[in-house]
Amino acid sequence: MPTTVSEDQVLEALRSVYDPDLRKDLVTLGMVQKLHVEGDMVSFDIVLTTPACPLKDKMRDDAHAAVMALHGVRQVNVNMDAQVTGRIQRPDRAGLPTVKNIVAVASNKGGVGKTTVAVNLAIALAKTGAQVGLLDADITGPNVPLMMGVKEQPPQLGDGLPVAEAWGVKFISIAFFLPSNDSPVIWRGPMVSGAIQQMLRDAMWGDLDYLIVDLPPGTGDAALTLAQAVPLSGAVVVITPQEVALMDAVKAIGMFQRLEVPVIGLVENMSYFLCPHCGERTEIFGHGGARSTAERLDLPFLGEIPISTVVRAGSDAGLPVTATDADKEVSACFDDLAGEVARKISVLNAEAKANSPFAGRIIPLMSG
């Protein structure tokens, strides 16, 4: 059967489909790949900048409709794929060769559920198909192994530091190298900084799209070491609705801004409580403080995470809610958070590439 539509016509039709975050059409962005036209059938790939893109279904549907509208086209096959972009390299902050994006999860106050957010964010990203790692940088209070359900140090398989793996996420923690779970870490700042750098650079991460770093509370050595050692894609700041937590969060935001680290956005943890018996909603610590703070500081608001007894029990048992889906509402909140974080990182990377004098020094795209 003779071809009634050309590849150029298909590409022209696809120029009407935009990535709403990057604000350019799919063809200009190079997202349309493996285009093939045979008679009245058209097939192509749309390669997104993250598998966690929450708008991928809309882009697929819009692209399908645009090509189907061409005269002579009877069938359109759209395959969705993803190739995560990496952060711009900087001469003063050497990156990790196999890690595309390093994301700090931070707070300036303890007890806001920062580690819970870090663990479930990492798992939610991994569920989308991304390659994800998690670094427990809370040296004096390492809780990631407990929450991930791994008690034993992973076996040594090479020259680097071994990493554990659970729920599709590779992770490392100083807890694996302590004599016992009860052993206190009584270290001065230089030792804390050294331990973080060693785990960061010597761990056997392999190829990662995202490395989530669970920082300790505050604006001390750990956060400073991370921000100055590697080119961070950005920071997620976790806060609760109380006024005192909001005041502390502003300090953490200010630290990242002074260190030239993009703030991806704010997430409000413990935002509200839904009674599992009657469904009544109670705002135990107030509500909406993170959103109003984000608006005041002109920063993205990433979402609300409710309090849940299922989350608490799952964290203690090494069964993260995003992995088990034991509380579907909370799990969906973390899935949404992962989508928002991935979107913001893609935009930040695109902006950095366009504006940076180091734009030629991009972390290379990796297979897998």
d(CA 280, CA 5): 57
User: Which phi and psi (to 5°) does residue 87 adopt?
Assistant: -75, 145
In this structure, the strands spanning 24-25 and 18-19 are antiparallel
d(CA 102, CA 122): 12
Give 207's contacts (C-beta < 8 A, 6+ positions apart): 98, 131, 366, 367, 368
For 31-48, the pLDDT digits (tens) are 999 999 999 999 999 999
d(CA 95, CA 105): 18
For 161-206, the pLDDT digits (tens) are 999 999 999 999 999 988 777 777 777 878 888 999 999 999 999 9
What residues in the chain have per-residue pLDDT under 70? 1-3, 89-93, 356-368
Percentage of the chain lying above the pLDDT 90 cut: 60
The secondary element (H helix, E strand) that includes residue 77 is: strand 75-82
Q: For the structural domain made of 7-82, what CATH number should be given?
A: 3.30.300.130
* pLDDT score, position 368: 30
**pTM, whole model, 2 decimals?**
0.89
d(CA 318, CA 154): 16
CATH 3.40.50.10300 holds for 99-355: no
d(CA 45, CA 362): 23
Percentage of the chain lying above the pLDDT 70 cut: 93
Burial (CB count <10 Å: 0-12, 13-18, 19+), residue 333: buried
DSSP result, 144-171: HHHHHT--SPPPP-SSSB--EEETTEEE
Do residues 236 and 334 touch, judged by C-beta distance below 8 A? no
Do residues 78 and 44 touch, judged by C-beta distance below 8 A? yes
Domain boundaries defined on the chain: 7-82, 99-355
HSE toward the beta carbon, residue 367, CA cutoff 13 A: 0
Handedness of CA 346, 348, 354, 358 (dihedral sign): negative
* pLDDT score, position 357: 55
For 82-109, the pLDDT digits (tens) are 999 998 766 666 778 899 999 999 988 8
